Amino acid sequence: MTPVFPFAAIVGQEEMKRALLIAAVDPRIGGVMVFGDRGTGKSTAVRALSQLLPPIRAVAGCPFNCMPDRSTCPVPCGRKRGRATAEVRPVPFVDLPLGATEDRVVGSLDLEAALTTGEKRFEPGLLARAHRGFLYVDEVNLLEDHIVDLLLDVAVSGTCIVEREGLSVRHPARFQLIGSGNPEEGELRPQLLDRFALSVEVRTPTDINERIEIVRRRDAFEHDPQKFVEDWRRADAAVARSVARGRRRLDSIAVPDEVLALGARLCSELGADGLRGELTLMRASRAAAALGRTDEVTSHHVAEVAPMALRHRLRRNPLDETGSGARIARALEMLLAA
Amino acid sequence: MKEAAVAAAEQRWSDALAAARLLATLPFGIGGARVRARPGPARDAFMEALLGGLQAGTPVVRIPAGADVDRLVGGLDLAATLGAGRPLISTGLLARASGGVLVLPMAERLEPAAAALVATALERNEVADRLGRPHRAQFLLIALDEGEGEEAIAPVLAERLAVHLELEGLRPRPQLLQEPGCPVDREAGLAALADLSEALGIGSVRALVLALATARALADGAQLPLAEGDLALAARLVLVPRAWRWPDAEDQPDETPRPPQSPESSDAPGPEAADLAELLVEAARALLPPDLTVAEPKAGSRYAAGAGRGGGRAHAAPRRGRPVGVRAAVPRAGQRLALVETLKAAAPWQALRQREHPRPGRFQVRRQDMRVHRLKRPAQSTTIFLVDASGSAALARLGEAKGAVELLLARAYVRRDEVALVAFRGAAAELLLPPTRSLARARRALADLPGGGGTPIARALELAGDLALGCRARGRTPTLVLLSDCRANVARADGLDAMEDAEAAARALQLAGIASILIDTAPRPRAEGPRLARAMGARHVPLPRVEAERVVAAVANGQ
């Protein structure tokens, strides 16, 4: 296995790392959209996170990442003598490449089987492999329209339905969609943008010392990856523990009424469309509280996650470029002072 | 001045040879090199130096023109499998190049999907084939960029290649001797490179990582400790080509507080980081082109990457899009076999074929049975605005034109069309906004539109024509919208009558078959407007007082 750059060793990019951890604690929150220039460590961070998370239990050899105690697999997998053998595997991390064709994404007829034995078998696509894991789409704003439609469909329903080439298959596909892209190169359709729960902006670091540190660590990693991973193992493990703790505590965190009211007032003040903003705000604040040591959500947690949850939901007019970050900060200040 | 230019050329050639020697030692960590040059003696000499320096038996794989994702990645070769009746796997080109060199000629024409794939392979050192199996793919990429002008290799690939060489115009000559210089501590070297990249305005941290890796590879290749000469050469090969501005004369390299040196390095003899940085800056200054202007880096010019000049990349059938039916053909590069249709076409002939050529248990498929998917992309259009920003157009009309463009942008956003903006005034026409769907950029370009000066209509039409042909080559339908009062007073060359020159340029547009609309903003009806429109083959829409909504309506009706 090629060693992966450790999550804890990533320099800077605090907002992005925080958003990813929040999404990891509560997968129901939804995906994360990372806006930013090339070469800012976006895919490194997501890949590192997927390595960090506790491995999942799945049926041995099942390409759909089926859970051992459920029988939702479209292809009977590993059911030898009526029992499915379970195995432990790392959280799936799937890259959706820029030129992906529909049949690679959704799955298609298994050609080797069809041509050699004449069997009609379904070859799972990228969505099947991403089930219970992360689907990372780089340059999501350049994605083909019909692939975007497909992703939206599956993201909403959680099921991938394939009806083509004589196949009729339906399999679960619940994954965290992490998208990255540079808005300078094209606009993201509003339906897809809305599908992302949280959004963050990353910029190339300008502080020269930070840049030197990034290069230093990258160089050390390339020089001796095993040693580097070993050196950061403890820090990484601490992050993994905090995520695991967060997941355990999530259901016991209380959301007081004042905090709910704050969230609602904030969204209405900013004119965020629909209710998804408030729901995301509440879920994300709870996840943020779970990552810490408190037992209930406070206005601080709301203030922390508000930019991530709301900055991409505020544009009234596609040409409106007024900085949403500033608007959110002002609104928060006003509401918290009151 | 001339001696300086000659000396710079000699240095560049010398550096290129040094780079060739370095690449021959296969330093995979630096990704590879991008060589910008047309085929010629300089490029040949460089490749010879590189390939000649490789150890015997090193795999060298050349990517053929028009190679698509399937060939790069490998996997089941469908057409061959059907023909032979048993699975025939073809090894992808990337896996075949593992442990050696991958040469990519005409790099600027590589399709974006393939470029993204190669970039990912460079980063992860492995590639997954069509069947999903991972293969080791650690190679050095030599991208031969033959693009002219704006055409260039895809940025996603270019930024992962450490060395950028510009060989155009260089003549092969004997190599200069490089002085190695004093040994340098790695921390000091890193700090100096960081200072230099800051001075040159290079934002990307990856460039800095690659520069350091190149310096180390140079030192390791000679089996000597890291020295000044290595840093200077790495700076010239990696950082200088990515420079966006001149290093400021007043900028002192040691202004920012330096992190404390680690204890082990304090006893190593070597120059101070500040001196080193100055050394590198001087070396860089000698090589920077004198006309490097202070400008913001163009974020991903989509128009440039992959756009063919003239009749370059005319795809008869689009490679991506929704499948709409099949047609009979043997699958070639980029076309996907429609398996079920193929089998259905071959099925009725089995009995006959078995009798003629008995092959028990095999399904016999012939060439005439093969079917490929037909893909369809929705026709997308690009609207090119030509705005007269000269003195003859009032400032208010300029404001209205901008307003119209904004409204059209909003409309284009919904319909997924692109908009481009060309402004003309004084003696020149300028492409202010290359075709883009990005509203962020459109906004910014519009805000900066200046006014005043002469009216060079001919030049503007010429520029717009080039742009439109480029759009067409990319498969989009261009529409030109000219907003002007048509009072041309600047011709493309001295001695020509401005109006006649404008009409000549307009006729060229009509011959090229580019749809256009002329929005005449002259305050009183004049003969020039309709005449120019006739020459362009455009619809003439007189709007003495330009109003944004009416412009939008005119364009909407015209499309």
Could you tell me the pLDDT band of residue B305, with boundaries at 50, 70 and 90?
very low
Residues above pLDDT 70, as percent of chain B: 75
Structure-token pair, residue B472: 């067409």
Most distant pair of Cα atoms in chain A: their distance = 73
Which segments of A185-275 does DSSP mark as H helices, in order?
A: 190-195, 208-223, 225-231, 233-249, 257-270
Burial class of residue B351 (count of CB atoms within 10 Å of its CB; 0-12, 13-18, 19+): exposed
> Residues in chain A, how many?
338
Binned average pLDDT, 10 residues per bin, chain A of 338 residues: 85 91 88 82 85 80 74 59 70 79 81 68 86 86 78 84 81 87 72 83 86 90 90 92 90 90 88 82 93 88 90 67 72 80
- In tens, the pLDDT along B467-481 reads 888 888 777 888 888
Could you tell me the pLDDT band of residue B424, with boundaries at 50, 70 and 90?
confident
Structure-token pair, residue B157: 């690939």
Helix (H, G, I), strand (E, B) or coil at B433: strand
Task: Kindly determine whether residue A99 and residue B111, on different chains, have CB atoms separated by under 8 Å.
Answer: yes
Question: Do A41 and A10 touch, CB atoms closer than 8 A?
Answer: yes
pLDDT at B261: 39
B127 contacts on A by Cβ (under 8 Å): none
SS3 content of chain B, % helix, strand, coil (to 5): 45, 15, 40
Distance CA A107, CA A101 (A): 10
Which residue is associated with the tokens 């629909």?
A: A274
- In tens, the pLDDT along B79-129 reads 677 767 676 778 889 999 999 999 999 888 887 778 888 988 888 888 877
A184 contacts on B by Cβ (under 8 Å): 299-300, 438, 440-441
- Among A189, A276, A315, A327, the one annotated catalytic: A276
Q: Which residue has the higher pLDDT, A282 or B546?
A: A282
Helix (H, G, I), strand (E, B) or coil at B41: helix
Task: Kindly determine whether residue B438 and residue A187, on different chains, have CB atoms separated by under 8 Å.
Answer: yes
CB atoms within 10 A of CB B503: 21
Strand A176-181 and strand A134-137: the pairing is parallel
Q: Quote the mean pLDDT of chain B.
A: 76
Distance CA B321, CA A144 (A): 8
What average pLDDT does this structure show over B329-349?
77
Strand A56-59 and strand B134-136: the pairing is unpaired
How far is B160 from chain A, CA to nearest CA, in Å? 9
Which residue is associated with the tokens 């460039």?
A: B207
User: Which stretch of A95-99, B79-83, B240-244, B516-520 has the lowest confidence by average pLDDT?
Assistant: B79-83
Q: State yes or no: ipTM above 0.90.
A: no
**Using CB atoms, which residue from B116, B416, B440 is nearest to A97?**
B116
- In tens, the pLDDT along B141-157 reads 999 988 776 667 888 88
Q: Please tell me the pTM assigned to this model.
A: 0.72
B117 contacts on A by Cβ (under 8 Å): 97, 99
pLDDT at B267: 36
Q: Which residue has the higher pLDDT, B317 or B227?
A: B227
- In tens, the pLDDT along B167-210 reads 887 888 777 777 777 888 888 888 888 888 888 888 888 899 99
B116 contacts on A by Cβ (under 8 Å): 97-99, 138-139
Q: Which residue of A lies nearest to B123 if distances are taken between CA atoms?
A: A44
User: Which one, of B410, B403, B434, B396, lies nearest residue B300 by Cα?
Assistant: B434
Q: What is the 3-state secondary structure (H, E, C) of B499-556?
A: HHHHHHHHHHHHHCCCEEEEEECCCCCCCHHHHHHHHHCCEEEECCCCCHHHHHHHHH
User: Which one, of B304, B147, B163, B474, lies nearest residue A185 by Cα?
Assistant: B304
Residue A283 appears among annotated catalytic residues: no
Helix (H, G, I), strand (E, B) or coil at B242: helix
Question: Do B210 and B28 touch, CB atoms closer than 8 A?
Answer: no
CB atoms within 10 A of CB B78: 21
The H or E element spanning position B432 is strand B428-436
